Amino acid sequence: MSKIRIGIAGYGNLGKGVELAIRQNDDMELVGVFTRRPPETVKLLTDGIKAYSMEDAVKMKDDIDVMIICGGSATDLPQQTPQLAKYFNVIDSFDTHARIPEHFENVDKVCKENGNLAFISLGWDPGLFSLNRLYAESILPSGKTYTFWGRGVSQGHSDAIRRVDGVKKGIQYTVPIEEAKEMVRSGQQPDLTTRQKHQRECYVVAEEGADLAKIEETIKNMKNYFDEYDTTVNFISEEEFDAVHNKMPHGGVVLRSGVTGADENTHQVIEYSIKLDSNPEFTASVLVAYARALNRMKKEGQTGCKTAFDVAPAYLSKLSGEQLRASLL
Amino acid sequence: MSKIRIGIAGYGNLGKGVELAIRQNDDMELVGVFTRRPPETVKLLTDGIKAYSMEDAVKMKDDIDVMIICGGSATDLPQQTPQLAKYFNVIDSFDTHARIPEHFENVDKVCKENGNLAFISLGWDPGLFSLNRLYAESILPSGKTYTFWGRGVSQGHSDAIRRVDGVKKGIQYTVPIEEAKEMVRSGQQPDLTTRQKHQRECYVVAEEGADLAKIEETIKNMKNYFDEYDTTVNFISEEEFDAVHNKMPHGGVVLRSGVTGADENTHQVIEYSIKLDSNPEFTASVLVAYARALNRMKKEGQTGCKTAFDVAPAYLSKLSGEQLRASLL
């Protein structure tokens, strides 16, 4: 069997994660990385594989079965995914929840015009968490769903801290509140405020001579980012920052608390959680598993835009239906 | 829109659970219950709906979109599912893991000959747990999967206790060992023996004058059921038994501990768990959600036998693709 030929568009943490995840799947091979940087400045981890200019991607359209697009959701993906979907079957991790319907429409249109297949908004949230919300709500229609994120680094909140005057380095951890999770696990269906679900923990290296009290106050009162949360700001040395806060752990949990029975007083709780040492490497692993699914569904003749909701689980696995039924069912 | 018309074959705890679950889904209606008992002796929970003799089911084949078969896996389902699949689209919860491939072949053949669609082996294990093994192993190919069951009542083990001389009533709880779960959650990939994963907790009401020491010894040494586990046997009064041990709680967890990255030393853990006050009512809720999926896939023209692996998640939900993307993704 010939291998699934993968291209990577964008070579940041996520793109590198995809490169490493491909190594764990012997039915796939990396064809090339496409970058907006001068390609000669980009050194890949894989021997014999090159970086190319993003503009040259189209020349390789017949060499790539699936292009995994690893740009950011704010400005990259709304442009890149429809553009690349003209020439390639594509996968992205677009995660701006409110703009997913619009992104879906754009990508779907281009795919249908060009006979390509796209999967958007893959990863863990949106992605695996979305799947679990869907399964759990379909099975327990009478109930309530809760999503908790963390403990883990929020890129957006870390960026916000770094924009504050006097901050040299900063990182923010989103921390779910254990008591709230326990309440849900017990079968209750509490109404939880934003503040009752998560705390925000900041670690800051201040510029020399900066006004620490002012930095702390500015962070804690930042609208949309911190003002609705209990936030702690910890000033630490640059040495400590570099030594301790150089990783991208994350995690989270989706909980569905539902009731069944004649009086709807029988409690049933479904919980899905992940604990990640590396958020980008895990997200990349999800994208790569779905690349296998995409390649199969394309061969069956499917085109247009799809999400995790539309992909039958069996497509993700290397195993045949017969093997899956014998070993995993 | 006309409702999905459901039939229930077999009216024990699971069948009653299906009846109650249908009430929670306003796009479905119960048409009738089919039983091997004299139908006039079977009183349903739903006003206006009748029990019929199993033999009369075929007469109602045009009135039922999906027949949910609620018999036992040991002897009922291997017969009933292929028989009913001649006339109906069917769903069952066949859970004898080792015999699933054979059951699948039998049901698939009948379905294809008769243009019907069947889903087998649905519920939580096999079913939701199988799905989670599949997703997690596809995403983290380098790793190890663990399934723990309980704390909950095992019907098979409870039956085994009740066959021991001198036992009047008995029930067995399968109890997962917390230390083992914690070890897996920490990112380790331990090799765990049967004894290290689960304990067995028995509650027994003895016949008057029975030899308690002998009952305990017989239970603890029972091959395949108890001999490989740390088992405790608690003798209690019939009053306590009836008051405390009259429910069917269950639960369990599927854990995948995997590694990613250049040196495969970045730990990533996925965990799926359920905590059920009523095992049969929850299993029934799974069957009913899949009845919706089956009805849709049948309308698209699909026939043959399928499992949870073959069903795209979106089919389970009442919501449209557009609604799902806007609300759950």
pLDDT in tens, A82-97: 999 999 999 999 999 9
Are A194 and A139 in contact, with CB atoms under 8 Å apart?
no
> What are the strands of the beta sheet with B28-35, ordered from one edge?
B51-53, B28-35, B4-9, B66-69, B90-91, B117-119, B304-306
Nearest to A220 by CA among A156, A160, A151: A160
Measured in angstroms, the CA of A305 and the nearest CA of chain B are apart by 11
Yes or no, beta carbons of B317 and A104 under 8 Å apart: no
Using CA atoms of A195, A201, A206, A210 in order, give the dihedral in degrees to the nearest 10: 30
What per-residue confidence (pLDDT) applies to B275?
98
Residue carrying the six token digits 């929020």 = A154
Mutation site, A108, A139, A278, interface B, largest B CB count within 10 A: A139
- Write the pLDDT tens digit of every residue in A240-267: 999 999 999 999 999 999 999 999 999 9
Calculate Rg over the CA atoms of chain B: 22
Which pLDDT tens digit goes with each residue over B90-138?
999 999 999 999 999 999 999 999 999 999 999 999 999 999 999 999 9
Name the nearest CA neighbour of B134 among B8, B1, B286, B307: B307
Find residue B105's DSSP bridge partners. none
Q: Provide the residue count of chain B.
A: 329
CB contact under 8 A, A266 and B285: no
Position A233 confidence tier, pLDDT thresholds 50, 70, 90: very high
Chain A partners within 8 Å of B187 (Cβ): 275, 277
A25: DSSP letter: -
In percent, the amount of chain A with pLDDT more than 90 equals 98
Position B1 pLDDT exceeds 90: no
Residues in chain A with CB shorter than 8 Å from the CB of B182 are none
- Compute the count of residue pairs across chains A and B with CB atoms less than 8 Å apart: 211
- pLDDT of B121 reads 98
Round to whole Å and give the CA distance between A127 and A137.
15
Closest by Cβ to A313, choosing from B134, B326, B328: B134
- At A176 the pLDDT is 98
CA gap B281, B279 in Å, rounded: 6
The ipTM assigned to this model is 0.96
Nearest to B278 among A126, A260, A313 (CB): A260
What are the chain B neighbours of A318 within 8 Å (beta carbons)?
A: 138, 141
Our measurement of the distance from residue A101's CA atom to the centroid of its chain's CA atoms, rounded to an integer in Å, reads 17
In whole angstroms, give the CA distance from residue A238 to residue A205. 6
- Between chains, do B260 and A285 touch, taking CB under 8 Å as contact? yes
Structure token pair of residue A28: 């796939």
Residue type, B265: N
Distance between CA atoms of residues A50 and A68, nearest Å: 16
Taking the C-alpha atoms of residue B252 and residue B128, their distance in angstroms, rounded to an integer, is 11
Give the residue-averaged pLDDT of A162-189.
Answer: 96
Q: Cβ separation of B309 and A313 shorter than 8 Å?
A: yes
Please judge whether B133 and A310 are an interchain contact, meaning their C-beta atoms are less than 8 angstroms apart.
Answer: no
**How far does B167 lie from chain A, in Å, by closest CA?**
30
For residue A302, the model assigns a pLDDT of 98
Q: Distance, in angstroms, between A247 CA and closest chain B CA?
A: 11
Residue B313 has pLDDT above 90, yes or no: yes
Residue A301 is predicted with a pLDDT of 97
| Tokens representing residue A169 in the block | 């380095």
Q: Mean pLDDT throughout A68-91?
A: 96
Q: How far is residue A326's CA from residue B101's CA, in Å, rounded to a whole number? A: 6
CB contact under 8 A, A262 and B45: yes
pLDDT of residue A207: 97
Phi, psi (5° rounding) for residue A11? -125, 60
**Cβ–Cβ below 8 Å for B274 and A269:** yes
How large a percentage of chain B has pLDDT more than 90? Answer: 98
Rounded to two decimals, what is the model's pTM? 0.96
Tens digits of residue pLDDT in B234-262: 999 999 999 999 999 999 999 999 999 99
Q: CB-hemisphere CA count at 13 Å for A121?
A: 31
Residue B201 and residue B8: Cα distance in Å, rounded? 33
**Closest chain B C-alpha to A303 CA, distance in angstroms:** 16
Round to whole Å and give the CA distance between A168 and A157.
Answer: 15
Query: Does the pLDDT at position A1 exceed 90?
Result: no
Report the C-alpha gap between A245 and B322 in whole angstroms: 40
H-only helix segments in A11-127: 13-23, 76-84, 100-114
Residues in A touching B273 (Cβ below 8 Å): 270-271, 273
Q: Are B58 and B84 in contact (CB under 8 A)?
A: no
- A206: tokens are 């201040």
* DSSP state letter for B96: -
SS3 B248: coil
The residues near A38 (Cβ < 8 Å, ≥ 6 apart) are A53
| pLDDT bracket for residue A27 (50, 70, 90) | very high
| Cα–Cα distance, A288 to A24 (Å, whole number) | 10
Residue B327, token pair as written in the block: 């609300």
- Name the residue among A195, A158, A184, A141 with its Cα closest to residue A273: A184
DSSP β-bridge partners for residue B275: A269, B251
Q: Is B276 helix (H, G, I), strand (E, B) or coil?
A: strand
Average pLDDT, chain A: 97
In what helix (H) or strand (E) does residue B169 lie, and over which residues does it extend?
A: strand B167-176
Between chains, do B140 and A185 touch, taking CB under 8 Å as contact? no
**CB B61 within 8 Å of CB B98:** no
Give the CA angle between residues A59, A60, A63 to the nearest 5°: 150
A213 to chain B, minimum CA–CA distance in Å? 37
Number of neighbours of residue B134 by Cβ within 10 angstroms: 22
pLDDT at position A223 is: 93
Q: Which residues contact A56 (CB under 8 A, 6 or more apart)?
A: A34
For helices A128-139 and B128-139, give the axis angle rounded to 10 degrees.
Answer: 180
Across A37-43, average pLDDT: 95
Longest dimension (CA), chain A: 68
**pLDDT for A96:** 92
